[in-house]
Amino acid sequence: MPTTAASPGAKEAKIGDFMKVIVTDIYEEKDQHIFMEGLPKFDEAAQKKYSKDFVKLDASEKHNLVLAIDTEAKEYTKNKKQEDPTHYFTMVKQLTLWGYFTSEVGSTKALRYLPLPGKYDGCYPYQKGDKAWASI
């Protein structure tokens, strides 16, 4: 998740540190291997498509490559058998979203933040394009 004018990115939310803890302390050993063996595949895909490492790609190239890997992961998931492992990119994406939107940065800068306790209003007006609410 890159930094934008509207919100900080995954680096500011320390997603790498979050992933390390979850993968090391929570994931089963087989999933740890899938995750760790999947990380170099970003560079492999970047080398294959652009002849350079992932970190050296410009924002547009990164975006296009991630979309292609995401499409690959969705197709894999759609066709996989129950006993087949989870696609590495699915793990990376899930951890990125989970870590980002539960971090202080993601909750307070990318989402509309309302500290608890607050009142419940089930009929609060919504405008298309409004950010979702967060509470931490």
pLDDT tens for each residue of 26-51: 999 999 999 999 999 999 999 999 99
pLDDT confidence band for 136 (50 / 70 / 90): low
Tell me what pLDDT residue 133 has. 74
- CA angle 77-42-30, nearest 5°? 55
Tens of pLDDT, residues 92-123: 999 999 999 999 999 888 888 877 666 767 78
Tell me what pLDDT residue 52 has. 96
The H helix count followed by the E strand count for the chain is 6, 2
Residue 88 CB: number of other CB atoms within 10 A?
22
